[in-house]
Amino acid sequence: MIHIKEKLILDVNNLTTHYFTSKGEVKALDDASFQLEGGQSIGIAGESGCGKSTMAFSLLRMVQPPGRIVSGSIRVGGLEVTGLSEEEARKKLRWQKISMVFQGAMDIMTPVYSVGHQMMEPLRYLKDIKGDRAKDICFKYLDMVNIDYELFYRYPHELSGGQKQRIVIATALLLEPDVVILDEPTTALDVVVEARIMNDLKVLKKKLNNGMIFITHDLSILAEISDILAIMYAGWIVELGSALDIYKEPKHPYTQKLIAAIPRLHMDIDRLEYIPGAPPELTNPPKGCRFHPRCEQAFDRCSQEEPDEHDVDGVKVKCHLYDRSG
Ligand code: SF4
């Protein structure tokens, strides 16, 4: 039976994760805060190296040395995560409170074991659920992702990419986690399969009343599937709010550029926008606003002072343009 989840299932406050390398301290994620309720999804978008993956690994408590969570708190399904030992994280957190479908996950299925054997592993190791009971649970989730239970007995080489991806998603759901992170869940698939899986995920999050975190560089997909959008740049969340509001009327200059760079049907290809320059080195990010060297709307203050986060019609925007304090 699906257990009833708390309304607020993920509460991230001022989360900061850095990597302490021989070249200096990489400020990969700074002061990130957001909340998620049951049945909601958040899409995290931004260029490579903006902190999306560091965010995901921090939530799972899987940041590897020389990285570590420096400060902040993460509460998943009522469990405070940051103070857990590695053993506690393994036994209480991963799979049960939060699980992840990794990028290219369909390729990590072991060819020598059947789908069923691989699916039942987390049930066996974490809950000591075996035999027919484990099989029944697997069948239930295979059904939820629209996979015929007959595939439970097959081997990965007998399946299509879309089938494998659905099976990996079903496996991530087996222990009814409060939150599921999906990192580029459909990148390797064709557009028709991608659309079907995205649609199924939309239905699933309402049915299971859990939270989903989508990580992808494809903003148009996120706008379609997410309730909330978090736009990241150089380790900061620069814009956070309703996905529809942000997609329709982006406020942060970086988000405006990202959305303008999405190709549209019938669009004159010469008018496709791009963001000049490259994201900064996070060992030594620019003073003031980290986006200022690439921002067309920058003014004097931008290179001197870090912007605060401002509430603009319910959307949080980290930019001096919205500072009404004078
Ligand atoms: Fe651009 Fe300044 Fe806003 Fe940063 S604070 S996004 S540089 S206008």
> pLDDT tens track of the chain, all 326 residues?
445 555 899 999 999 999 999 999 999 999 999 999 999 999 999 988 899 999 999 999 999 999 999 999 999 999 999 999 999 999 999 999 999 998 776 778 899 999 999 999 999 999 999 999 999 999 999 999 999 999 999 999 999 888 998 999 999 999 999 999 998 877 767 777 778 888 888 888 888 999 999 998 778 888 888 999 999 999 999 999 999 999 999 999 999 999 988 877 666 666 677 888 999 999 999 999 999 999 999 999 999 999 999 999 999 999 999 998 75
Q: Cis check for the bond before 66: say yes or no (omega within 30 of 0).
A: yes
Q: Which residues line ligand 1 (CB under 6 A)?
A: 252-253, 289, 291-292, 295, 297-298, 302, 307, 319-321
Estimate to the nearest angstrom the gap between the alpha carbon of 44 and the chain centroid: 5
Task: Dig out the tokens for 241 from the structure.
Answer: 């709010």
* Residue 320 alpha carbon, nearest atom of ligand 1: 5
CA of 290 to the centre of ligand 1 (A): 8
Q: Which of 288, 299, 267, 235 is nearest to 72 (CA)?
A: 235
Query: What's the pLDDT score for residue 326?
Result: 58
CA of 273 to the centre of ligand 1 (A): 18
Cβ proximity of 188 and 104 under 8 Å? yes
198: helix, strand or coil: helix
Q: Give me the count of residues in the chain.
A: 326
- Residue in the block written with tokens 């003031």: 288
Query: What's the pLDDT score for residue 216?
Result: 83
Ramachandran angles phi, psi of 273, nearest 5°: -80, 155
Nearest CA to ligand 1 atom 7: 292
Nearest CA to ligand 1 atom 3: 319
* Residue 302 alpha carbon, nearest atom of ligand 1: 2
pTM: 0.92
Going from the C-alpha of 171 to that of each of 26, 217, 242, the distances in angstroms are 34, 24, 29
Cβ proximity of 6 and 78 under 8 Å? yes
All domains in the chain, ordered by first residue: 8-97+178-271 (3.40.50.300), 106-176 (no CATH)
CA of 259 to the centre of ligand 1 (A): 17
Q: Which residue among 302, 322, 325 is best mutated to probe the pocket of ligand 1, counting the most ligand atoms within 8 A of its Cβ?
A: 302
Beta 41-45 vs 211-215: how paired, if at all? parallel
| Cα dihedral 302→294→247→306 (10° resolution) | -20
Q: Which residue among 237, 254, 291 is best mutated to probe the pocket of ligand 1, counting the most ligand atoms within 8 A of its Cβ?
A: 291
CA of 300 to the centre of ligand 1 (A): 10
Query: What's the pLDDT score for residue 4?
Result: 52
Query: What's the pLDDT score for residue 1?
Result: 45
Query: What's the pLDDT score for residue 3?
Result: 52
Over the Cα atoms of the chain, what is R_g?
Answer: 21
CA of 301 to the centre of ligand 1 (A): 9
- Provide the β-strand partners of residue 18: 68
Ramachandran angles phi, psi of 71, nearest 5°: -160, 175
* DSSP per-residue codes, 43-84: EEE-STTSSHHHHHHHHTT-PPTTEEEEEEEEEETTEE-TT-
CA of 319 to the centre of ligand 1 (A): 5
